[in-house]
Structures are given as structure tokens and as C-alpha cells.
Structure 1
Amino acid sequence: MSADLSDLTAARCAEVRPRLSRTTTFRLTVTYAAVLVIVVVSLISLIYWQAADYMVRQGDAIVTGQVRALLYVDANDLPDEIDRLQAGDLRGVIQYGLFSAQGRYLRGKVFSLPPGVMLNGKPHDWLETGFEDGARAVAKRLPNEQILFVGYNAKTLAGLRDIIFDSLWWSAALILAIGLVLGVLLGVGPLRRVRAVQIISQRIASGDLSQRLPLSGRGDELDALSSLVNRMVSEIGLLLEEVKSVGDNVAHDLRTPLNKLRAHLHRTLEDWSETPDEQLQVHVEKSLHAADVLLGRFRALQRIAEIDSNARLARMATLNPAPLLEELFEDYQAVAEEEGIRLSLCAEPVPALVADRELLAEAVMNLLDNALKFTASGGHVQMGLRFAMGRVRIEIQDNGPGISSQDRERVLRRFCRGQHDPLVSGAGLGLAIVAAVARAHDFDLCMEDAQPGLRVVLQARPA
């Protein structure tokens, strides 16, 4: 069933093959190119509109100025002056026409008045075949009742319009082509990375948790996602490894108290009729003690699971750890004196933390229990609170045998004990509870060599 599910998952992953046209890089590049085309078109259109408006006003000024200048010419000399001006217009931009009072042609290149022309001396559009869009003209009746017509053919505006339109189309086509090419070039790399991520993910989904997603080192969004997935896979691997080893550890660690319990019960049952009541009571008390040991270890396992489930994170609050350490110092001072151990506290002023007070107290108590357990009579256990390198440090230090550097990470797991632990009673769950509290609070838990002894440090960011 598991193999079939893995094959089905791999088959589904294999079916979803990313395409270049669907990659975010390709789409963004093409989108940016399209937006750039729209911006360029808008900009060029604005430039053309401004230039056309300027040229129309220039055309109005030209025809109006020409009409005003010709008004000062003597009526008898006006035909010759029009011929002279017309001959001097080599570009054919300005055209003149002189008509009788009845509109009969007299002189110039304009042979007939446009239909409906206004003789008010004001510029208007010259909409006639053969003239460019934007042409302007002025018609005015002279004092001798003749009609003077001056027109301006907007050839410059037409040429500018052709240049702008050609530039517009070519620039739009070039921008889109470059956008498509860049989209392809920029999309191929991420596509290959996504494909590599997909292949590795299929292997991870098939159960190979040793695989890790590739990192490019550029720190982009794919690297961020891959780093997060790699961290998640590492955590899952550790959890699975711990789950696999819990059964063996539980069986190994609980075998002794279970055997003791069975032996006491068996002896009680065998000697039930022959043994005095006082002896039977001793056997029952030993059986109860063995049962209490078993229940205590199961409660510790349940406590670790409860802390890891983050069910208590709703009780997080801002607190000053100094009063908590002072309270625990007072509680454990008498215990330390009974063992012949000197317990001291050095608490410096530190910023407040965000923590669950009960869980933090439980972690510190487990550290104190371990420190007192492994410190011989006449030894010294120090409790410390200080602020260094931007972190609040809660320190528990003893001068016992310590823990070797190769065992420091291993002893944080359930039922794992150091090389000196077999000489001391315990289940190997105290540091596992401390590690669970550190995980729940996102604290750093580290062990340092106190020379001699061990220093366990909980490091936390200020609130």
C-alpha cells in the first residue's frame, strides 16, 4: 500500500512538468515588455500631439501674417506680389489665391475657393484633396471687394507624423521581441532549477530523506524556499529517527523496572501463605516503587510530547527571568545543603523575555536537578543570568564530570545518557524536556565546557 502510494505520488509529480511560458520569470518579462510598449506608445503619442498642436499654431501664425502683410500692398501691385511670393515658395508649403468679388480666379496657385469658405480673416482647416491633414487657410475680402486666400500645407507635420508612427511601430516590435528573448533566456535557468527541485522532491517523497534541494547561492526566492524545505526535511528526518529509536530505547530502559516489578510480585505471590505480613508489605512497597518509576518515565515522555505540540504557547507572556531564578534558588538551596553542595546565584539586570513562566521554570529545574545529581559533595553549582551579545543568557554550571563534546547533542534525545550516566540513577529524559522547552520558545540551548564541569546555557532574544 505504501509503495503504491509512493508510485502514485511520483507519477503525479512527473505529470506536472513546468513550461517555459508558465514560468513567473517569463510572464513577468513579457508583462514588463508589454507595459513598456504601452508607456512608449503613450509617450510618443503625447509628443506627437504636442508637436502637432505647436505646428498648427505655427501654420495659423504664418497664414495670418501673410494676409496682414499683403493688406499693405497696393491693389494694382497685389497680383505681381502674389506671383513673386508664390515663385519664392520652393517647397510648395504656402499657396496664394486672388479672386474677384464674385469668386472668379485672378492669380496664384489656388484656382478656386473651397466650398463654404469663411471670409472673416481667421484661420480654419483646409480640407481639400491633395493637402495634408493639418493644413490651414485664411480668406479675407479686401477693400476693393477682391478676395485674398492664403493656405498653408502641413507637409512638415505629415513628415513628422510618418516618422513618429514608423518609430512607434518599430520600437514596439523591438521591445516585444527583446522581451520575448529575455523571457526565454531568463526563464530557462529557473526552469532548470525548478526541474531539479522537482526531481529531488520526488526522491524525498519516495522516502529518501537524505536528499536536499539544490541551492544556487544567489539568495533568491527559490533559495529561500529550498532552504526552508531542506530544514523541514532535516527536522522530519530527525523526528523519524527519534521515533524509530524510541521503541528500542523504551524497551531497553523499562526492562529493568518491569523485571523488578514482576520479580517482586512473583515473590509476593509465592510467599503469600508463608511470609509474615510485614515482609509481604515490603514486597508490595517495592512493587509500588517500581510501578512509580515506570509511571514517572511515561509522564516524562508525555510531558515532552505536550511541550513539542506547542499546545501551551498561548500562555506566552513578557516576563523578567530574575525573580523566577531567585525563587528557584531559594527552593533548591536547602536541597543543595543536604547534599553538601554550595549553590550560588549571580543575576545581572537583563531585558524582559517572552516565555511561558511555568515551562521556563520546568527547564531550569531539570537543569538544576541534573547539576546537583552529578556534582559530588563539596562541589559548587552556579546559577547565572546575564545579557551578552544582544541575548539573555540563563546559565546553570557545575563542577562535576561534565559531558564530552561528542555526547552533548546525543544526550538531548529521549533516553540517551552520557558516559557517566550509568553510574547515576535516571531515565535520560531531563535534558530532553529542556530541549523541548527550548524548541517551544525558539531559544538556543548549548553546552559549554566549564573546566571542570558543564555549563548549560539557554539563550533568548529580548522581548
Structure 2
Amino acid sequence: MHFERLSRALRSTAFRLSAIFTAIFILSYVVVFSVTYWETTHALISQRRGAIEQEFAAMKNRFLRGGMEAVRRAISEESTPRSGFPVFALVKTTDGASFGSVSLERAEIGWHDYPEANIPSIKGEDRDEHVLSAYAGKLADGSLLLLGFDRYNIVETQEAIAWAFTWSALIMLFVAASGGIFVGRRALYRIDLFNEKLREFEGGKLDTRLPVRGSADELDELSVSVNATLERVEGLMASLRQVSSDIAHDLRTPLTRLRQRLEAASANARTTEDHADAIRDALDQTDAILATFSALLRIAQIESGARRAGFAAFDLSGTCNSVLEAYRASLEDDGREVTARIEPGLTVRGDRELISQALSNLIENVLRHTPSGTPVGIGLHEAGGRVTMSVSDEGPGIPEAERNKVFQRFYRLEGSRTTPGNGLGLSLVLAVADLHAAETEAKGGERGLTISISFLAGMPPTGGEP
């Protein structure tokens, strides 16, 4: 089990990201090491060479003032191997004689390395790392003077730098790998918890939600998004159960009445006219049932969000005026005074047909459920970055406790059950508003009712939620 969890941690995205960033850091580390190694070596060699060149100039001055004997004394005094900064010297005179603190078979003018030089070393040191780096030139009498230094200290510094960077890299790799495994296992713990919660949701526990720790990390953001989806699914399932119950309740009555009428007609109809009346009544009942199913299908289509793909910016002011003109004759024939307060040039993004249908349903709601002669108001205005479309009347209104219920499918007030309709008109209005991320509100006093839909003003970006 432990090996399996470790294997999952090593395959996790968190560990892979840690490995990628570690590799990038190691590459940067190698570049830093190379630059540090080269710059340090170059600085040490330049420092030693500068000192040797200064010493060479001093030796030439000694030769000019005191001859070869002065050079010999200087070499004897300053060539102290293994203390401070030793200078190794060799003089080859014009007559073939040589003296100094180091012996060489050959010596060339300028800077050269002489690995064959026998340089004194401390016991235990690697003699291969003792290399003479020397500068040779001519004295005034033509004799060859060679001054040099042992590169051993520089090699030691180079090795120290290399070991320091190597151990640092190894420690860093260990810490990075351990951190990657730790982070990966923590992430897997939360993923396992997410999977457990989702399995509970799949098993029918629809109120299950993913835990949110409040750390505002990417997993918290994922939890919030998934929880919103789960809440939406729970709401749709609850709506589906409610719709199923409502269909069973509200359609059972007309279907039962239809069957009873047909049975009565079959038993009692004696003339052709009786049969024709029974058929006409059955057709009316069937049309009402089909209208209910059509309304339910339209609401389901709207709630699916498929119509969002066709969203476009349009002139809502013009649309409201067009719908009002289509109903003006019916409203005036019913003795209703119509008041229109529609601000011109207001634009929203959405489905023009659906918003027109929602406004039509609000107007028809007034026509069906308020007495003839009741004044009607159509409004459209912009305020606070939102465009609000409203339909108001001065009818009997709706009790405050039932105002939000009128948007439920098949819900009808007690006084409206004898009027034509199926209780789906305002449900469609709510579905259209939700599709457009609009806010729907029903408000009023002792008398009268105003139902409003508030859209975001202007033209929001296309794609996703409007």
C-alpha cells in the first residue's frame, strides 16, 4: 500500500512540476557554477601573474644595481617554498651555468606551464597537482631569468568550488525530490477526498459538496467550481422531480376529464351532433394537453443553455416597442389604459426571440389575471449598469408570501384556477431570465403587481455565460 501511494505521488502532476522546475534550477545552477569556476580561476591566475611580473621587474632593477650577485641574494631570500606566496626562480647565465630554487631542462621566453618541474610538496599531497606556471625573460647581460608560482593552491580552490557546488546540488535534489513527493502526496490526499465525495454524489447523496479549505489555491478554486456544478445538478434534479410530480398532478385531471367525456359520449350520444360535440370537446382537451407539453419542452430547451450560442447584441428598446404594438390593440379593446416608458437606444446581448417571448408572456399574464379596464404599464430603463424591463398593472396583486411561487411550474393562485392557462407562462419568463443571467423580481403593494427582468447593460463578451 505504501509503495502504491509513493508510486502515485511520483506520477502526480505536483511531482512532475517539481521535477521540471528542479531541472530548470539545476541547469541554471550549472551555468552559475561554470561562470563562478571560470571567473575565480581567472582572477587567481591574473593576481599571481601580476605579482610575478612585478617581481620580475624588481629583479631586473636589482641586476642593474648589484649585478648577478644581487639577483642571487634576492632569490635566496624570497624563494621560501610552502610559506605565503612562494616565488620559484631559475637563472641561466650566458656561460651555461644555472642557479635558483627550481631546476628545468628547458625554459622559454614568456608565460608557460612546466609540469615536469620538481616543486617541493608536503607529504600526502598529489604531486601531479603541483605545476609550475612561470614567466621567463632576459636580463641586461643576456642571461635568462625565470620566475614562477605553484598552481597547487589554485587547483585546490577549483576543487573546493567544484565540491561545494556538487554537494549543494545533491542536497538541493534531495530536498526537491522530497518536497515533490510530499506535495504530491498532499495533493493526492485531496484528490482522493474529492473522488470520495463525488462517488457519494454519484450514489445519490446530492447534497454532497467538495471541501474548501479557504487557502485560495487552485484546488480550492476547483472545489468552488465543482460545487457550483453539483449545486446546479442538485437543483435540476429537484426541478425534475418537481416537474414529474406536477405533470402527474396537473395533467391527470384533464386526461381523466377527457376519458370521462369520451366514455359519456360513447354511452349517451345518440345523434351525429352529439358525437360531433364530444369530438370537439375531446380535441379542445387534447390541444390544452399538447400546449402544456410544448411549453414544458420549450422551458427545458431554454434551461439547457443551447440557445446561448446564438446570442448577439440587439436593440432591446426597439424590441419592447414592437411587442407593445403587437398587443396594443388587444389591450385597448379590453378597455385598458397603456402607459409606455421605454428609454430609446438601450442594448443588451442575448436572444431577441426569447426575450420577446418573455415580454409577451408578462403582458398575457396581465390580460388573463386582471379585470378588464385595469391599466397596464410597460417600462424599460437603465440604471447602475443594468437594463430593467418591467410590466406592471393595478389589478388585485399577489400576496407577498406567494410572489416567488408564481414562477414555479404549474403553480396557480387559487383565484386563477378557473381561468385558461397551464401555469407555465411565468416559468418560461424565469427560464429566459436565467439563460441571460438576468435578475427577476415580482413586487407590489396591497393592489397591483410589477414583474421586472434586469439585464446587464451593454454588450458582454461572447462565449460561456453571458
Give the TM-score, by structure 1 length. Answer: 0.83
Do the aligned partners of 1:341 and 1:376 also contact (CA within 8 Å) in 2? Answer: no
Alpha-carbon shift at residue 302 of structure 1 (Å): 2.5
Q: Which amino acid aligns with 2:76?
A: D
| Match of residue 125 from structure 1 | 113
Matched, 1:318 2:313: yes
Matched, 1:225 2:222: yes
Q: Structure 2: how far apart are the matches of 1:38 and 1:204?
A: 46
Matched, 1:202 2:237: no
* Structure 1 unaligned blocks of 5 or more: 1-14
From 51, 55, 65, the equivalent of 1:62 is 51
From 417, 432, 438, the equivalent of 1:437 is 432
Alpha-carbon shift at residue 194 of structure 1 (Å): 2.0
Aligned pair count reads 441
Q: Structure 1: how far apart are the matches of 2:21 and 2:391?
A: 59
| Match of residue 161 from structure 1 | 158
Cα distance, 1:189–1:254 mapped onto 2, change above 3 Å: same
Q: Pairwise mapping of residues 143-222 of structure 1 onto structure 2 (< 5 A)? A: 143-222=140-219
From 419, 436, 441, the equivalent of 1:447 is 441
| Match of residue 20 from structure 1 | 9
Alpha-carbon shift at residue 336 of structure 1 (Å): 2.1
SS in 1 for 2:221: helix
Q: Which amino acid aligns with 2:114?
A: W
Deviates more, 1:88-97 or 1:353-362: 88-97
Matched, 1:285 2:280: yes
Q: Which amino acid aligns with 1:456?
A: I
Matched, 1:240 2:229: no
Alpha-carbon shift at residue 431 of structure 1 (Å): 1.9
Cα distance, 1:455–1:306 mapped onto 2, change above 3 Å: same
Q: Which amino acid aligns with 1:71?
A: K
For residues 52-85 of structure 1, what are the alpha-carbon distances to aligned partners after superposition, in whole Å with 9 as ceiling and x for unaligned? 1222223333333333332231234322232233
From 56, 68, 71, the equivalent of 1:75 is 68
From 319, 322, 331, the equivalent of 2:326 is 331
| Match of residue 107 from structure 1 | 99
Do the aligned partners of 1:253 and 1:415 also contact (CA within 8 Å) in 2? Answer: yes
* Structure 2 unaligned blocks of 5 or more: 118-126, 460-466
From 262, 266, 277, the equivalent of 2:259 is 262
Do the aligned partners of 2:337 and 2:373 also contact (CA within 8 Å) in 1? Answer: yes
Identity of matched residues, %? 29
Do the aligned partners of 1:350 and 1:392 also contact (CA within 8 Å) in 2? Answer: no
Do the aligned partners of 2:80 and 2:86 also contact (CA within 8 Å) in 1? Answer: no
Q: Structure 2: how far apart are the matches of 1:280 and 1:136?
A: 127
Q: Which amino acid aligns with 2:77?
A: R
| Match of residue 136 from structure 2 | 139
Cα distance, 1:87–1:153 mapped onto 2, change above 3 Å: closer
Q: Which amino acid aligns with 1:110?
A: V
Alpha-carbon shift at residue 150 of structure 1 (Å): 0.8
Q: Structure 2: how far apart are the matches of 1:265 and 1:87?
A: 130
| Match of residue 380 from structure 1 | 375
Q: Which amino acid aligns with 1:126?
A: Y
Alpha-carbon shift at residue 143 of structure 1 (Å): 4.7
Alpha-carbon shift at residue 137 of structure 1 (Å): 0.9
Q: Structure 2: how far apart are the matches of 1:176 and 1:236?
A: 46
For residues 207-242 of structure 1, what are the alpha-carbon distances to aligned partners after superposition, in whole Å with 9 as ceiling and x for unaligned? 221211111122322122222222222222232233
Matched, 1:98 2:87: no
Do the aligned partners of 2:114 and 2:133 also contact (CA within 8 Å) in 1? Answer: yes
Q: Structure 2: how far apart are the matches of 1:30 and 1:134?
A: 42
Q: Structure 2: how far apart are the matches of 1:234 and 1:134?
A: 78
SS in 2 for 1:219: coil
Matched, 1:364 2:359: yes
RMSD: 3.1
Cα distance, 1:412–1:220 mapped onto 2, change above 3 Å: farther
Q: Structure 2: how far apart are the matches of 1:330 and 1:397?
A: 17
Q: Structure 2: how far apart are the matches of 1:358 and 1:98?
A: 107
Cα distance, 1:84–1:409 mapped onto 2, change above 3 Å: same
Q: Which amino acid aligns with 2:202?
A: A
Q: Structure 1: how far apart are the matches of 2:280 and 2:403?
A: 37
Do the aligned partners of 2:78 and 2:86 also contact (CA within 8 Å) in 1? Answer: no
For residues 265-319 of structure 1, what are the alpha-carbon distances to aligned partners after superposition, in whole Å with 9 as ceiling and x for unaligned? 344444543x473x55444332322222122112212222333344444432210
